[in-house]
Amino acid sequence: MKSLPVLGSSFRQLTTQQDKVTDTHREEPERITASQHHQSWLLLITLTLLADRCPSVFKEAVDMSKFPVDRIRNFCIIAHIDHGKSTLADRLLEMTGAIAKTEKNRQVLDKLQVERERGITVKAQTASLFYTHAGQQYLLNLIDTPGHVDFSYEVSRSLSACQGALLIVDANQVLNARIVINLLLFFVPPPLQGHSVIPCVILPIDLKNADPERVESQIETVFDIPSEECIRISAKLGTNVEKVLQAVVDRIPPPVGSISDPFKALVFDSNFDHYRGVVANIAVIGGRVNKGDKIVSAHLNKTYEVNELGLLRPDEQPTQKLFAGQVGYLIAGMKDVKEAQIGDTLYLQEQPVEALPGFKPAKAMVFAGMYPMDQSEYPALRSAIERLTLNDSSVTVQKDSSLALGAGWRLGFLGLLHMEVFNQRLEQEYNASVIVTAPTVPYKAVLSSAKLIKHGREEITIVNPAQFPDKSLVSEYLEPMVVGTILSPDTYTGKIMSLCLSRRAVQKNMVYIDEQRVMMKYLFPLNEIVVDFYDLLKSLSSGYASFDYENAGYQAADLIKMDFLLNGRPVEELTTIVHRASAYSTGKAMCERLKESIPRQLFEIAIQAAIGSKVIARETIKPFRKNVLAKCYGGDITRKMKLLKKQAEGKKKMRRIGNVDVPKDAFINVLKRKEK
């Protein structure tokens, strides 16, 4: 039998040859007989099936011992959304030979369907690159991270496997808030690694409106990074991308660790495969691990056997070993999603080590109820949520139930976009159809009743508005606050300030970062910005303003619970918590939007907003009516009145026994505001 590299090389040669045969057959069919064409296809199909069954046979083996720690560089690409991270990653993959150079290489690392449809990165992806510099071959482990604030937990976890980052700044856009927040993250050393080095990359320089000099001066002013360190590139055209690879080798330090140390690895990401179980992405902190080794999970103290190791290039490429400083994937027969804990430490059974500190759990900022369309789908939806939360560990899950929707869950997300993407991935990847209730934020209540207080003071967290305690039991309510950073051209300052004041924001400071751009900081109640603030900010500023926020604790507020009734029946899923000062305007606006969202019925529907037993707003959806007077061409008026009275009695009875179905999208649509 041929050696593995020879078989792999033969397979690639046969594939290339078959492509040529196909092209020739298409352009000049007379040159190739049907028999030759069919024989070529039959042999290729046979080898393809063998490659699927025995992938390691057809992939050239990589000797990972060739890459000592000093020739490894681990880095990630970070930037705001739509600044070209994935495009730069495509060029880096092409230049290092990880993927072939074709016009179809667009967002290669964006593997999810939701990423392709929305044009954004929502999941960090890893790729290992082989790069030769100054006569030495280096192993570069690249992580392409998301840019939206709702996926910042992906960025923070990716940093644990990196020693540096490429900071991407768009030369056509204002220096935005996401970059400010990201850089604050990078100045804090990642766990167990040295201080991060940040080569700044400015792109795209090939467009007419690009102004790299201005962006360089902003970076120097805001971050105190010399403008000489900035690399001007065009990721689309590949201009100066080679300098990026050289800067990664020269300016990012190698990982800290040694092959002689006991094996220790950090699980920084994972996903679930239906056939192989949990696939864990690991960063080897020290030592080595071989295929067949017995390893132990520090979290559960369970022992596993390593079934497969490898690199991501960006597709999986199995290897026999992984060494200190390297990043790859590991499969060890973990069949239960609870066995793969993000932030877990893996070590050899015969060499116990101290567990790594892991990651701080993500703080959920938005909560929403999630229920199956039919209760018979509950087990399948539970399995889908468990597997998806393995891949997205920033989502918190707790069981919940509703009188109207049955058993379900109360899920916590980092933002509204995070919630929408999670729901979309459930539908696309697991074919699950769910009902998502209106998003809320976590409030707190300080209890005052002597029967409820055990230790002098007791706070409870409220994630479901239906569980909001009565004022008689509470001394004060607390609402979550955030510090929001807005960067915008000064032309739109007045409109932005008006928008912020309408959301109960308190201005902290305002500074000009250059002659035309201003940075404003506001203290916001989280509930005021979580649904539609970002969209309105973009509309007011013609898309130029950017917004980001960070947690600022809790603050006392005058909060009340508002119920919504349809024909006198409360709809628990629409219950919301509002500030007393804005209760009337909020209730009236939500009743109006409910009137637009709920379809007309054969009976009248009364929509009411109530605080306790007091109704503060009402809208009425008129019923469909048959013209019962159409057959009356005259005669006594009493005949017409009799027909109208009979119809009214029928409508009244129908209203009493009829049910009102609220559409799925109404739960979110009713919260969105229309600023005047």
Cα–Cα distance measured from residue 254 to residue 272, given in angstroms and rounded to the nearest whole number: 31
**Residue numbers belonging to the annotated binding site for GTP:** 79-86, 144-148
SS (H, E, C) 337-366: HHHCCCCCEEEECCCCCCCCCCCCCCCCCE
Give backbone dihedrals phi and psi of 310, rounded to 5 degrees, phi first: 175, 180
73: left (phi > 0), else alpha (psi -120 to 50), else beta? beta
Answer whether residue 398 shows pLDDT above 90: no
- Relative orientation angle of helices 241-251 and 85-95, to the nearest 10 degrees: 90
The residue ranges of every structural domain in the chain are: 4-57, 64-251, 264-348, 366-436, 443-557, 560-669
Reported CATH class of domain 366-436: alpha beta
**560-669 adopts what CATH topology?**
Alpha-Beta Plaits (3.30.70)
Tokens for 553, please give them: 């604790």
CATH 3.40.50.1980 holds for 443-557: no
Burial of 504 (0-12, 13-18, 19+ CB in 10 A): middle
SS (H, E, C) 603-632: CCEEEEEEECCEEEEEEEECCCCCCCCCCC
pLDDT band at 201; cut points 50, 70, 90: low
pLDDT band at 323; cut points 50, 70, 90: very high
End-to-end, the C-alpha distance of the chain in Å comes to 76
Q: Do domains 264-348 and 560-669 have the same CATH topology?
A: no
Contact between residue 87 and residue 114 where contact means Cβ atoms under 8 Å apart? no
**Residue numbers belonging to the annotated binding site:** 79-86, 144-148
Q: What is the pLDDT of residues 361-394, one digit of tens each?
A: 777 778 888 888 888 889 999 999 988 888 888 8
Cα–Cα distance measured from residue 262 to residue 355, given in angstroms and rounded to the nearest whole number: 12
Q: Which position has the higher pLDDT, 495 or 359?
A: 495
Residue with tokens 């002659």: 515
Considering the segment(s) 264-348 as one domain, its CATH architecture is Beta Barrel (2.40)
Mean pLDDT of 282-308: 90
Q: What is the pLDDT of residues 165-174, one digit of tens each?
A: 888 877 766 5
Pairing assessment for the beta strands 459-462 and 443-447 based on DSSP bridges: antiparallel
Answer whether residue 4 shows pLDDT above 50: no
Contact between residue 445 and residue 478 where contact means Cβ atoms under 8 Å apart? yes
Tokens for 283, please give them: 């960063």
Amino acid at 270: S
Q: ∠ at Cα 343 (339, 348), nearest 5°?
A: 70
Closest by alpha carbon to 283, among 345, 221, 370, 237? 345
Whether residue 314 has a cis bond before it, omega within 30° of 0: yes
Closest by alpha carbon to 140, among 84, 81, 82, 199? 199
Answer whether residue 351 shows pLDDT above 60: yes
Answer whether residue 523 shows pLDDT above 90: yes
Q: How far is CA 670 from the centre of its chain?
A: 24
DSSP 58: S
Contact between residue 243 and residue 233 where contact means Cβ atoms under 8 Å apart? yes
Catalogue the E-assigned strands of 18-117.
72-78
pLDDT, residue 188, reads 43
Percent residues over pLDDT 90 in the chain: 13
- Relative orientation angle of helices 4-27 and 34-53, to the nearest 10 degrees: 140
**64-251 adopts what CATH topology?**
Rossmann fold (3.40.50)
Helix (H, G, I), strand (E, B) or coil at 372: strand
Cα–Cα distance measured from residue 615 to residue 564, given in angstroms and rounded to the nearest whole number: 9
Q: What is the pLDDT of residues 86-131, one digit of tens each?
A: 788 888 888 888 887 776 667 777 777 777 777 777 778 888 899 9
Mean pLDDT of 204-208: 63
